[in-house]
Amino acid sequence: MATDMDRRTLVSFGTTVGLVSIVGCLGDRSDTTDGSPVESTDSTGDDGENDDADGDRTDDEFTDVTPSDPIERIDIVDSDNRTETEPGDLHAISVTNADTDARDLTVRIDHDGASVFDETDELPADTTLEIVVNEPGTYATDIESGSARANMTTTYSSGDRSLTTVSLREGGGISTQVETRH
């Protein structure tokens, strides 16, 4: 299980990966997006910092970054603590590091042609980055990890429910899957 510091690193990297995974999904994972969050950031900028009594935060942690308007919520969860749930009225993106080692990850997300996220960070092993967007539009996502790369484009309309899952597999591969319900 990841340490608290590893989870914070995952949160910063997971946000990047989550945004990228707005348009991709994992094939053999169920449409789960809820779990026990380790850290979360919402579009109001409230990152729960006052709730963290351990006092070991640093200025470069991802939780200190306020996501762009299209992002409603960002959570990093331990992959073993995820529970099955259906996406609501919004688009959910899930990026899971299924590798036994932490993975460097670069995530770029554009919303209707404008860059809303471009970040490189490390995603700890056995953790999942979950992102929920709250604005309809076209999301172009680019995820890179080592020599593996995935590009996805998804158009999300009001009233649609969708789940994009990205899995960083052992050995360096990336798999994606998108599930949409109208």
Cβ neighbors of 40 (< 8 A, separation 6 or more) are: 11, 47, 48, 73, 74, 75, 76
Residue at 155 is within a domain? yes
Residue at 76 is within a domain? yes
Helix (H) or strand (E) holding 17: helix 4-20
Residue at 129 is within a domain? yes
Query: Per the structure block, which two tokens stand in for 116?
Result: 């809303």
Residue at 56 is within a domain? no
Query: Per the structure block, which two tokens stand in for 60?
Result: 């470069």
Residue at 91 is within a domain? yes
Residue at 54 is within a domain? no
Residue at 87 is within a domain? yes
Q: What is the CATH number of the domain that holds 41?
A: 2.60.40.10
Residue at 21 is within a domain? yes
Per-residue pLDDT of the chain in tens (182 residues, 90 and over written 9):
444 445 555 454 454 444 444 434 333 333 333 333 333 333 333 444 444 333 333 333 343 345 556 766 676 677 776 555 455 557 778 888 888 899 998 888 888 998 888 888 888 888 888 877 778 888 888 888 889 999 888 888 877 777 888 899 988 889 988 887 77
* Backbone angles phi and psi of 114, in degrees to 5: -105, 135
The whole domain housing 153 covers 4-46+62-181
* Domains in the chain, number: 1
Residue with tokens 């690193």: 9
Tell me how far apart the alpha carbons of residues 146 and 59 are, in angstroms, rounded to a whole number. 26
